[in-house]
């Protein structure tokens, strides 16, 4: 097994396209608004999370290291104060906004702005084998884990819905 970069943890995730018509009813008050800035010149992502129920905000700076396998890779998160977030939020980069809902083991992301209409789901685990054990619901219509077009970084860069395969 490859050594982790200092302070990183392994993330195993699978991504799927979602048919919104098949989703169970969602509770808007339980959602989170996620605003991501993929900072130019590297693999850093600045994230603001606003919880619908309370209006509370959380700020993170993350780095996803380039994985050998699209399903598994190391990641580092650093939690920030509002002041630290404001300093970094002026950096150049590409932005995306999405509303995130939790359904069982899955997070469902409904994109806003130019990506409106795109709905994806992810399931995360601590290792590849655990990620493979999830029962995939029928509202997940196609796995896109290995398709670079559906990564957050790529969606932010293109600001366009991927062309269906």
pLDDT grade for 163, boundaries at 50, 70 and 90: confident
Show the beta-strand stretches assigned E in the chain: 9-18, 32-39, 44-51, 57-64, 72-80, 93-103, 106-111, 119-125, 140-143
Computed over every residue of the chain, the mean pLDDT equals 87
Residue bearing the bigger pLDDT, 119 or 160: 119
Structure tokens of 25?
Answer: 């009813």
* Cα–Cα distance, 64 to 52 (Å, whole number): 26
Q: Is the pLDDT of residue 89 over 60?
A: yes
Tens-place pLDDT, residues 10-42: 677 889 999 999 999 998 889 999 999 999 998
pTM higher than 0.85, yes or no? yes
Residues paired with residue 39 on neighbouring β-strands, in sequence order: 93
Q: Give the whole-angstrom CA distance, residue 34 versus residue 36.
A: 6
- Check pLDDT > 80 for residue 58: yes
Q: pLDDT at position 1, please? A: 47
Confidence of residue 127 (pLDDT cuts 50, 70, 90): low
For residue 27, what pLDDT is reported?
Answer: 86
pLDDT at 43: 87
Which CA distances in Å does 50 have to 32, 128, 147, 153?
5, 30, 28, 20
d(CA 144, CA 111): 16
The CATH topology of domain 9-158 is Hypothetical Protein Pfu-838710-001 (2.40.320)
Residue 127 near residue 12 (C-beta atoms within 8 A): yes
């Amino acid at each position: 097994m490859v050594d982790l970069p200092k302070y990183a943890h392994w993330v195993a995730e699978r991504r799927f396209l979602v048919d919104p018509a098949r989703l169970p009813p969602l509770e808007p008050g339980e959602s989170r608004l996620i605003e991501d800035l993929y900072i130019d010149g590297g693999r850093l992502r600045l994230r603001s999370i606003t919880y619908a129920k309370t209006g509370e905000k959380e700020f993170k700076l993350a780095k996803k290291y380039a994985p050998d396998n699209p399903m598994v890779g190391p990641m580092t998160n650093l939690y920030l104060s509002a002041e630290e977030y404001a300093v970094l939020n002026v950096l150049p980069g590409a932005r995306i906004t999405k509303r995130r809902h939790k359904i069982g083991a899955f997070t469902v992301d409904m994109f806003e702005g130019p990506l409106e209409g795109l709905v994806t789901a992810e399931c995360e685990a601590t290792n590849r084998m655990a990620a493979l054990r999830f029962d995939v619901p029928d509202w997940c219509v196609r796995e896109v884990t290995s398709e670079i077009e559906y990564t957050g970084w790529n969606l932010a860069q293109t600001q366009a819905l991927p062309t269906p395969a």
